[in-house]
Amino acid sequence: MKNFETCYLKPQTEKEIINKLKNIFEDNAHILLLIGEENKPDIQKLMQLALDSGLKICGGIFPGLILGDSKYMEGIIAVRLPKEANPKLIQDLSNLDASHFEKLMKPLKTSCASMIIVDAFSTSVEPFLKNLNDTFGPLFDFIGAGAGHLTLKQEPCLFYDNQFVQDAALLIPLAKHHLSLGIKHGWKRLSGPYVATHTEKKRIYELNWNNAADFYIPELEKLENIKITPDNFYDVCKSYPFGLFKDGFEDIVRDPISFKSGEYIECVSEVPENASLYLLKGTTSSLIDAAMKATDAATLGVSGTIEGLFIVDCISRVLKLGNEFEKEIHQVTTSINNNKINCPVFGVLSIGEIATYAYSQTELFNKTIVIGAFHDEST
């Protein structure tokens, strides 16, 4: 069987899923299961059946899935991982100190590519990425996704080795593969800069020395000409995220998801204190155009054969683009075809995207599309 060979399984009983996996994936390689949160199977049961059948499965639960140019909110995408895949489930991220992390990562200290799936609702994703950066620097290329449910509540969402957990990360190093990455979002600056004069992790308390919520919400009300309430906040602000300046590259998007009047705005990821933020606005065409650019960045210039394309597309882009989202993935597959690439294309609609940025560091992005092209060492 080929590396990254994929199949889509509609919702069905756990036994049927395992039987189909056994029939499709005949060798002993690990199988990555990307599971849509709607009508998801009983994971514990699935793991037990897999164990009984001698199947090595790992994976996560996501708001949605991508296979080729189709989007699914339910079902499973099964991916046959390369033989050298050596998954590692890192649990209890909130209590993981640097020395323990170093010990966990010691066996992995050789240059290679790696997939990574994290619990998007763990409060310790960024400290975990900081540890990854300190340990590996640019020696590893990571592509990853935030797993979880659209209820925005923290629940078990990662599984491997008969364990179904939350507050964890699933690392899948592929020692014999290289990774070429494309990271784009297409959001453009609308106004700013606004200095985030007081922040604490994901919460912005002050913008330009004023209360953040009191500063941001009137801006939104002016732009959309409607009254913002906690109930309609996300519907409006999903079109106006913040941009964090990064020298030489697109601004990093920080996605506001809630606010407390007179106190703070809460984002999906951390905002550094004293960083300058811009108010961003995206259009359907700029976002879709970004998807094409990300595809080109990942696939053009790769000298050898690409064995698999992993797409991590933010669920908030789906929410923003609505019915036009199909165009975005269609654009991705068109670019792939234009670039004459013939390989499995699979992906997830994620809550936060992870990628190693321009040989610099591994970052957590919001509202971004990340495309990773896996190619083997010989290429």
Residues that bind another protein (CB under 8 A): 109, 111, 133-139, 193, 195, 245-249, 272-276, 357-361
Choose between 158 and 181: whose C-beta lies nearer to another protein.
181
Which two three-digit tokens encode residue 142?
A: 């990571």
Between CA 54 and CA 160 the distance in angstroms is 13
- Supply the minimum distance, in Å, between the C-beta of residue 204 and another protein: 14
Buried b (16+ CB within 10 A) or exposed e, 216-243: bbebbeeeeeeebeeeebbebbbbbbbb
Least separation, in Å, of the C-beta of 109 and another protein? Answer: 8
Between β-strands 369-376 and 361-365, what pairing exists: parallel, antiparallel or unpaired?
A: unpaired
Residue from 265, 369, 269, 356 nearest 320 by CA: 369
Nearer to another protein, 79 or 364 (CB): 364
Cβ proximity to another protein, 8 vs 245, nearer residue: 245
**Distance between terminal CA atoms of the chain?**
19
256: Cα within 13 Å, side-chain hemisphere: 31
Minimum Å gap between C-beta 95 and another protein is 21
Shortest distance, position 131 Cβ to another protein, whole Å: 10
Please give the structure tokens belonging to residue 300.
Answer: 């053009």
Residue 108 CB, shortest distance to another protein, in Å, is: 12
Q: CB-wise, 188 or 327, nearer to another protein?
A: 188
- Give the residue with the Cβ less far from another protein, 64 or 182: 182
For the CB of residue 80, give the shortest distance to another protein in the complex, in Å.
27
DSSP string, 52-82: HHT--EEEEEESEEEETTEEESBSEEEEE--
Q: Which of 67, 355 has the CB closer to another protein?
A: 355
Sheet with 70-72: strands ordered across: 70-72, 64-67, 345-350, 306-314, 369-376, 177-184
Closer by beta carbon to another protein, 133 or else 284 = 133
C-alpha closest to that of 164 among 244, 257, 36, 60? 60
**Gap between the Cα atoms of 311 and 371, Å rounded:** 5
Q: How far is the CB of 184 from another protein (least distance, A)?
A: 15
